[in-house]
Amino acid sequence: MIAVPTPFKGDHEPDMTYVESAARSIAPVLKKGALVILESTSPVGSTEKMAEWLAEMRPDLTFHSRWRAGGRQHCLLPGTRVTGPGYGRAD
């Protein structure tokens, strides 16, 4: 899981430096079948850009068609949450 800040530059553009650095850091040690998750408040297209950086460094790896740039968009729904004693369940 990549969890790094994505601050804004002076021109109000997102600074993807931390995401790129993290992707390039993990690329050499990724194994076939590994799942990489970008957990960051980042702009649309960030995951696809991260996949491009990883593919650039690791052409031996493949990306499932549902997750590569230009593929279908998917949303992972959160599971059931327990809020605490006496509060029941939050869905």
Neighbours of 65 (CB within 10 A): 9
Q: What is the pTM of this model?
A: 0.65
pLDDT on residue 80: 61
Whole-angstrom distance, CA of residue 31 vs CA of residue 56: 15
Q: Is 23 a residue whose pLDDT tops 90?
A: yes
- CB of 19 within 8 A of CB of 54? no
pLDDT on residue 84: 60
pLDDT in tens, 32-60: 888 888 887 888 888 888 989 999 999 99
- CB of 4 within 8 A of CB of 40? yes
Q: Is 89 a residue whose pLDDT tops 60?
A: no
Whole-angstrom distance, CA of residue 56 vs CA of residue 71: 18
